[in-house]
Structure 1
C-alpha cells in the first residue's frame, strides 16, 4: 500500500529495502496469511476464495485448500482476476517498531483485513475530534 506523503517521516529511510527483504527472503514472494503469489494474476470469487494455479486447487481466504469446490453458480459471473501485490504490514500498527517479528508480507486483501480495526478506530477518533471542535467553536463543521 502506498504511504501517504504526510506519513513518510514515520518510516525509516531504508523502508523499501526492508520491505523487499520481508517479501522475497522471508515470505518467499507469497502472502504470509493466504499464500497468494506476488506479481501474478489470480482468479478469485470476491469472498476470499481463489484459484491456486501451482497446485490446481481452490483455496480459502486463509490459504487452506477447499474440501468443497465452488459451484457453477459461484463461478458464473463472479469469477474475477486480480494482480497480487505484496505490502509489508506492521502487526501492532506501530510504524516505529520495525522488528522482524512485527513485520508481515500481506497481499492487498489480507493487508486491508488486518488494518480494518485500526482504520475504524482512527476514523472514529477523527469524527469525534471534528465534532468536539464544532461544539467548542459554535457549530459542527461541514
Structure 2
C-alpha cells in the first residue's frame, strides 16, 4: 500500500529495504496469514477460500488445505485477483519498526487486520466533517 504523504515522515529512510526483507526474505513471497503468493493471479470464491495452483488444492482464509470443496448451487462465482503483499504494522504504529511488529500480508488479510482502525478513522472523519459543517452552516437538524 502506498504511504500517505502526511505519514511519510513517520517511516524510516530504509523502509523500502525493510519492507522487502519482511515480504520476500522472511515470508518468502507469501502472505503470513493465508499463504497467498505475491504477484500471482489467484482464483477465489470471495469468502476467503482460494485455489492454490502449486498445491492443486483449495485453501481456506487461513491458508489451510480444504479436504473437499462443497459448492452450494450453480450460482457460485469464481473471481480472479492479483495478490500484492504489503508490510503491515501489527500495532498500527508506523514508528514501531521492530521485526516482530511487522508482518507480510496480502490485500485481504491487511484489510481484515486494519478493520477496527479503518472504522475508527471513518468515525473520526465523519465527526470532523460535521464539526466543520456546524462551524460554517450552523447545527444540523435531526
- The TM-score normalised by the length of structure 2 is 0.89
More displaced stretch, 109-118 vs 76-85: 76-85
- Give the match for residue 85 of structure 2: 86
Give the conservation status (yes or no) of the 8 Å contact 2:50–2:58.
yes
Checking the alignment, whether the CA contact within 8 Å between 2:35 and 2:63 is kept in structure 1 is yes
Distance 1:29 1:43 in 2: 18
CA RMSD of aligned residues (A): 1.9
Aligned equivalents of 2:136 and 2:80: distance in 1?
Answer: 49
Worse overlay, 132-141 or 18-27: 132-141
- State whether residues 87 and 102 of structure 2, in contact with CA within 8 Å, keep that contact through their aligned partners in structure 1: yes
| Corresponding position of 1:12 | 12
Give secondary structure in 2 for the equivalent of 1:73. coil
What do the CA deviations read for 1:5-55 (whole angstroms, capped 9, x no partner)? 222112111111000000011111100000001111111111111001111
Corresponding position: 1:60 with 2:60: yes
Unaligned residue ranges in structure 1 (runs of 5+)? none
Deviation string, structure 1 residues 56-105 (Cα, Å, up to 9, x no partner):
1100111111133142736x661111111100000000000000010000
Aligned residue runs from structure 1 range 6-45, under 5 A: 6-45=6-45
Distance 1:10 1:98 in 2: 10
Contact residue 45 and residue 76 of structure 2 kept, 8 A: no
CA distance in 1, matches of 2:87, 2:56: 27
Equivalent residue pairs, number: 140
CA drift at 1:113: 0.8
Q: Secondary structure at the match of 2:100?
A: helix
Q: Report the TM-score, using the length of structure 1 for normalisation.
A: 0.89
